[in-house]
Amino acid sequence: MLGVQEATQHVDALEEVWRDYIRSSFDPKLRREYCFRYFALLDALLAQTESGFASKGREEALQRVLAFECFAIEPAGPSCGPVAAGTTTLRNPCYLLAKLRAPEAPDDPQLVPLVTALGDRSQGLFYHYRQHKLCIDSENSLLLYLSASQATRQKSFHVINALEQLVGQGTDPRASERAKRIAHKVILPYLESALSFAGSRPVGIVDLELLDLGAGSGLLAARICQEIRRVLANQDMESRFRVWMVDLSLSDPGRFFAGKRLRAAVDCLTAIGSDYRHWLATRDQLPRYNGIRIGLVSRFFNNLSDFLTAAVPPSSMVRTKRDRTVDVRWRECLPSHCLGRSGVGSDALEISNARIWLDSGRTFAQRSLSQYFRGLHLLSPSGAEDVGDHDDRIFVPLRRFRPQCLLTSDGESVLERLLADCSIVLIQDADLRPQDLLAHREQMRLPGIVAIDMTKCLRLKGHYSYALARSRDRAFGSVIGERLW
């Protein structure tokens, strides 16, 4: 393939164990050898590509190895190259490092947060999005990735939504638990308090409106309504919901409201296919509300973040004081070092979804994938311009919050516009940190708005949660959290 005898031997060795692994129906006993052979090949290609003897052929070979066991997803019609990508948990050697380190750990696409895939015209970077079990009793999961490019990301949502209709109906296994926490910690206490301050108790029917920004499949909104209906029904009260869902790419949002009891409780269900920034810039989009309307923005802004690779000093990846003692020996966790016959074994691997915050963005504790991310970095536009000597650096995937997400198309605050139409606004997001929210308030002033951090109250680890309301809203005192301002 390369005309280099050593690299060719690595290819042959990988092919042999890859075939044995597949023929054995993915025998766990072969995973260590499979992963070792893959990363030994990757190391050899990186050495050739970064040397003075680098060539276009070697760069193409590196692209193919980095895209190994990943597949491109392209929209129907004339090909414009891949706009999304996918892989599977039992075949991808990068992902199998997590299986070696913790065989019983649940599948999670964050364990390989960035992939590349080859298409007819181009290759690019794709970031983790969702996962689906291929069947109920299967150990294998399908991992789906969106385009890291802002230019093609919206097309990613369209093709992934279409694919999910075929493989898994777009379900989120954690949606019910998230909905219960939101209902019991925020909406129900607020509802009871608001009705109390209004001087009336609900008689017969309780009206509630929900505006879901970036609704996607609509599953979370449906589960929230379902839980509230169930709680109120236990108190001999009926519920009546009006729901608006706003998203550029809505995936059959009504299907999760199709249950008989919930369908009977929904008075209005409206799907609005629009860019939320343009939609919020247009005034009087919704009818005025006289009761309670909840604004929901759940894990939406983080899908507009920037995703890239970078080289960082090993000291920046230290999470505890104990880590500092082994910081200088971080290369011992590389698969080509610890998985060989003379290596210390998979216990030395560092591959987890634990988050690490750096000045340049958020990453994961995945030092064992440094060479993989180094290859992705070389293929990226930023890597092509980065000619520094990074032998002493760890390569990581980075994700950065985009402050523009909080601005409408006419430059106003998304939060201010939402609170013009809603009683309270609930935000859950992986990348929107408290300091980002405070910076937005400083930029936009936001007079008369109160914000609290509910992350600890909702016992969240993977993302942040906030609630915002007008300062004059006395019922907002029922929502428990840490006051931001």
pLDDT tens digit sequence for 6-31: 778 999 999 999 999 999 999 999 99
Mean local confidence (pLDDT), 447-452: 95
288 in a structural domain: yes
134 vs 350, residue with greater confidence: 350
Q: How many C-beta neighbours within 10 Å does residue 140 have?
A: 13
Domain span holding position 33: 5-167
Residue 460: predicted pLDDT:
81
Q: What percent of the chain has pLDDT over 90?
A: 60
- The reply to whether 15 and 146 lie within a common domain is yes
Mean local confidence (pLDDT), 140-148: 93
**Strand runs labelled E in 225-379:** 238-246, 266-272, 293-298, 306-312, 355-358, 361-364
Residue 305: predicted pLDDT:
95
Q: pLDDT band for position 105 (50/70/90)?
A: confident
312 in a structural domain: no
Residue 202: predicted pLDDT:
57
- Is the per-residue pLDDT at 470 higher than 70? yes
- The reply to whether 84 and 37 lie within a common domain is yes
**Residue recorded with tokens 């507009």:** 304
Task: Report the C-alpha gap between 123 and 116 in whole angstroms.
Answer: 7
**Residues 210-245: tens digit of each pLDDT:** 999 998 888 899 999 999 999 999 988 999 999 999
- Is the per-residue pLDDT at 334 higher than 50? yes
- The reply to whether 342 and 292 lie within a common domain is no
- Is the per-residue pLDDT at 386 higher than 70? no
Residue 485: predicted pLDDT:
94
Q: Check if the beta carbon of residue 370 is closer than 8 Å to that of residue 336.
A: no
Residue 1: predicted pLDDT:
46
**Which domain-ending residue is among 135, 167, 199?**
167
218 in a structural domain: yes
**Which domain-ending residue is among 354, 380, 400?**
400
**Residue recorded with tokens 């000597």:** 389
Question: What is the token pair recorded at 355?
Answer: 């988050």
Q: pLDDT band for position 43 (50/70/90)?
A: very high
Mean local confidence (pLDDT), 78-104: 91
First to last CA, the chain: 61
Torsion of CA 147, 153, 156, 158, to 10 degrees: 170
Least confident interval from 266-270, 324-328, 389-393, 459-463: 324-328
Mean local confidence (pLDDT), 414-437: 95
The CA R_g of the chain, rounded to the nearest whole Å, is 25
* 241: nearest Cα among 273, 218, 217: 218
Residue 209: predicted pLDDT:
96
Residue 384: predicted pLDDT:
57
311 in a structural domain: no
- The reply to whether 86 and 64 lie within a common domain is yes
Residue 394: predicted pLDDT:
94
287 vs 69, residue with greater confidence: 69
- The reply to whether 67 and 10 lie within a common domain is yes
In the 3-class helix/strand/coil scheme, how is 436-453 assigned residue by residue?
HHHHHHHHHCCCCEEEEE
According to DSSP, the β-strands at 266-272 and 238-246 are parallel
Residue 4: predicted pLDDT:
61
* 276: nearest Cα among 254, 309, 249, 256: 249
Mean local confidence (pLDDT), 58-81: 87
**H helix runs in 316-446, sequence order:** 321-324, 335-338, 370-379, 381-385, 414-421, 434-444
**Residues 252-272: tens digit of each pLDDT:** 767 889 888 999 999 999 999
Mean local confidence (pLDDT), 136-151: 89
Q: How many C-beta neighbours within 10 Å does residue 177 have?
A: 11
- The reply to whether 34 and 116 lie within a common domain is yes
290 vs 103, residue with greater confidence: 103
Residue 94: predicted pLDDT:
97
372 vs 161, residue with greater confidence: 372
- The reply to whether 283 and 423 lie within a common domain is yes
3-state secondary structure of 424: strand
Taking all residues of the chain, what is their mean pLDDT, rounded to a whole number?
Answer: 88
- The reply to whether 214 and 293 lie within a common domain is yes
Residue 249: predicted pLDDT:
76
Question: What is the token pair recorded at 54?
Answer: 């680098």
- The reply to whether 336 and 377 lie within a common domain is yes
445 in a structural domain: yes
> Into how many domains does the chain fold?
3
Q: pLDDT band for position 168 (50/70/90)?
A: low
Least confident interval from 45-54, 87-96, 395-404, 415-424: 45-54
Task: Report the C-alpha gap between 247 and 199 in whole angstroms.
Answer: 37
- The reply to whether 154 and 280 lie within a common domain is no
Q: pLDDT band for position 426 (50/70/90)?
A: very high
